[in-house]
């Protein structure tokens, strides 16, 4: 099947892209790397009247550090972020999670902001953004910033308005003494995760973020968690999730992955923090 007809605008500036979204209304969509949107167009799951291409806007692919955050604008590909020389020291959780996002080919075109906008519950980048208390910077008629935890509102649902572009997302730079780890289980490497887990360990404090189970990434914090209490804590977490049966896995299998992958990921994060 081929897409329904649409108009195409290659935006020269963010302002031009935003104005086009505002003028066209619900029928307009941003196209970035096209790795999710083009499949949706071909299956006619999306039938936009106008596609606004933001990949040629000058400066859209230039990352930088601002006020202790790594700022990643809308045209930065997942591959470019993964190739960033200092990523491992700046945002180690992203360095661990990005190799799990699709394949070399999809990462070459797929953007970081496009993945966040698409809001797939199994997406690794959104999970890392929520786990790290990152921020989504939106540009509509006015600019506004939202904590990632408030941005994801459901399955492929976000708090972005139809006339807003994600101008950038920002990830806090890692502090010394903090350990990060990421693991996931999928049918094949590069497939969307059945369950993905990010762990962040700082002193006594521990945070776990779970993807692929609820409609949006879920975060759980513990002020302190002794080794002997880890299994009970993970069991509570597993039962608190909205795990469901689907084509890929049963709810029971998903809960079991949360327990097993959770334990492994906590251990790795604590080792990195030492
Ligand atoms: C074979 C294959 C395997 C994949 N595996 C994974 C995986 O394991 N994990 C994973 O997370 N993803 C996976 N993906 C999806 C991939 O990561 C996409 O790149 C990503 O979901 C969307 O990024 P994109 O730049 O391609 O966005 P597009 O496809 O261009 O757009 C996706 C959606 O986001 C909107 N959008 C894009 N950019 C913006 C913006 N700046 N502001 C507002 N809205 C915007 C578009 O309007 C559209 O609705 C896979 C894709 C393929 C084809």
DSSP string, 134-160: -EEEEESSSEEEEEHHHHEEETTEES-
Reduce the DSSP state of residue 57 to 3 states and report it.
coil
Is residue 58 in a domain?
no
Mean pLDDT, the chain, integer: 96
Confidence of residue 274 (pLDDT cuts 50, 70, 90): low
| Assigned domain for 109 exists | yes
Going by alpha carbons, the residue nearest to atom 5 of ligand 1 is: 102
- Measured distance CA(218)–CA(213) in Å, rounded: 9
The DSSP code sequence of 66-128 is ETTEEEEETT-BHHHHHH-TTHHHH-HHHHHHGGGSS-HHHHHH-BHHHHHHHT-TT-HHHHH
146-164 average pLDDT score: 97
**164 and 218 fall within a common domain:** no
CA of 37 to the centre of ligand 1 (A): 7
Distance 251 CA to ligand 1 centre (A): 26
Token representation of residue 25? 């209304």
Supply the CATH number for residue 202's domain: 3.30.390.50
Band of pLDDT at residue 2, cut at 50, 70 and 90? confident
The pLDDT tens digits of the residues spanning 27-60 come to 999 999 999 999 999 999 999 999 999 999 999 9
Q: Is residue 1 part of a domain?
A: no
Tokens encoding 143? 């600019």
Q: Which of 131, 266, 258 is nearest to 194 (CA)?
A: 258
- Testing ligand 1's pocket by substitution, the residue of 36, 51, 166, 198 carrying the most ligand atoms inside 8 A of its CB is 36
The strand pairing partners of 199, in sequence order, are: 181, 208
Share of the chain above pLDDT 90, in %: 92
Domain boundary among 149, 172, 195: 172
| pLDDT on residue 196 | 97
pLDDT at 245: 92
Instruction: Compute the average pLDDT of residues 127-141.
Output: 97
Q: Which of 172, 203, 221 is the last residue of a domain?
A: 172
Q: How far apart are CA 186 and CA 209, in angstroms?
A: 17
Nearest-atom number in ligand 1 for the CA of 126 is 11
- Give the neighbor-by-neighbor strand order of the sheet with 69-73: 64-66, 69-73, 165-172, 135-139, 143-147
Chain segment 166-210, per-residue pLDDT in tens: 999 999 999 999 999 999 999 988 888 999 999 999 988 999 999
Share of the chain above pLDDT 70, in %: 99
φ, ψ dihedrals at 266, nearest 5°: -60, -45
75 and 96 together in one domain: yes
Structural domains in the chain (count):
3
Domain-terminating residue out of 172, 205, 223: 172
Which of the listed residues 61, 73, 110 should we mutate to test ligand 1's pocket, taking the one with most ligand atoms within 8 A of CB? 110
Are both 70 and 163 inside the same structural domain? yes
Tell whether 94 and 140 lie within a shared domain: yes
Query: Per-residue pLDDT averaged across 218-234, rounded?
Result: 93
Q: Is the CB of 178 under 6 A from ligand 1?
A: no
Residues 163 and 184 in one domain: no
Which mutation among 14, 102, 152 tests ligand 1's pocket best, with the greatest number of atoms within 8 A of CB? 102
Are 159 and 122 in a shared domain?
yes
Evaluate: CB of 212 within 6 angstroms of ligand 1: no
- Do the Cβ atoms of 78 and 125 come closer than 8 Å? yes
Whether 141 and 105 share a structural domain: yes
Which of ligand 1's atoms lies nearest the C-alpha of 46? 49
Residue range 70-121, pLDDT digits in tens: 999 999 999 999 999 999 999 999 999 999 999 999 999 999 999 999 999 9
Output 273 or 166, whichever has higher pLDDT.
Answer: 166
108 and 191 belong to one structural domain? no
Residue 91: which CATH number?
3.30.465.10
The answer to whether residues 184 and 264 touch, using CB atoms and an 8 Å cutoff, is no
Instruction: Flag whether 2 is in a domain.
Output: no
Q: Count Cα neighbours of 57 within 13 Å in the Cβ-side half-sphere.
A: 24
Domain that holds residue 38: 7-53
Please report whether residue 28 resides in a domain: yes
Question: Are residues 164 and 74 located together in one domain of the fold?
Answer: yes
Q: What pLDDT shows up at residue 224?
A: 82
Q: Note the pLDDT of residue 108.
A: 98
Q: In the chain, count H helices and then E strands.
A: 11, 14
In contact, 219 and 149? CB cutoff 8 Å: yes
36 Cβ closer than 6 Å to some ligand 1 atom? yes
- Distance of CA 116 from the midpoint of ligand 1 (Å): 8
């Amino acid at each position: 099947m081929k897409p329904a007809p649409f108009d195409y605008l290659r935006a020269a500036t963010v302002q031009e892209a935003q104005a086009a979204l505002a003028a066209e209304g619900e029928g307009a969509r941003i196209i970035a790397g096209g790795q999710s949107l083009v499949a949706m167009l071909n299956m006619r799951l999306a039938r936009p009247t106008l596609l606004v291409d933001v990949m040629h806007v000058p400066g859209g692919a230039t990352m930088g550090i601002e006020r202790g955050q790594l700022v990643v604008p809308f045209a930065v590909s997942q591959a470019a972020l993964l190739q960033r020389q200092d990523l491992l020291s700046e945002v180690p959780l992203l360095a661990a999670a990005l190799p799990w996002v699709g394949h070399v080919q999809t990462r070459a075109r797929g953007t970081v902001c496009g993945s966040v906008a698409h809001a797939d519950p199994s997406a690794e980048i959104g999970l890392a953004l929520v786990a790290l208390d990152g921020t989504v910077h939106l540009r509509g008629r006015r600019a506004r910033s939202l904590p990632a935890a408030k941005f994801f509102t459901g399955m492929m649902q976000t708090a972005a308005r139809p006339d807003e572009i994600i101008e950038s997302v920002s990830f806090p730079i890692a502090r010394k003494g903090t350990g990060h780890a990421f693991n996931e289980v999928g049918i094949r490497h590069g497939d969307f995760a059945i369950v993905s887990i990010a762990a962040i360990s700082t002193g006594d404090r521990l945070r776990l973020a779970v993807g692929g189970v609820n409609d949006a990434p879920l975060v759980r914090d513990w002020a302190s968690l002794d080794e002997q209490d880890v299994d009970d804590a993970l069991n509570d977490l597993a039962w608190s999730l909205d795990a469901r049966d689907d084509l890929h896995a049963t709810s029971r299998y998903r809960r079991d992955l949360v327990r097993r992958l959770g334990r492994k990921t906590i251990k790795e994060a604590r080792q990195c923090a030492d």
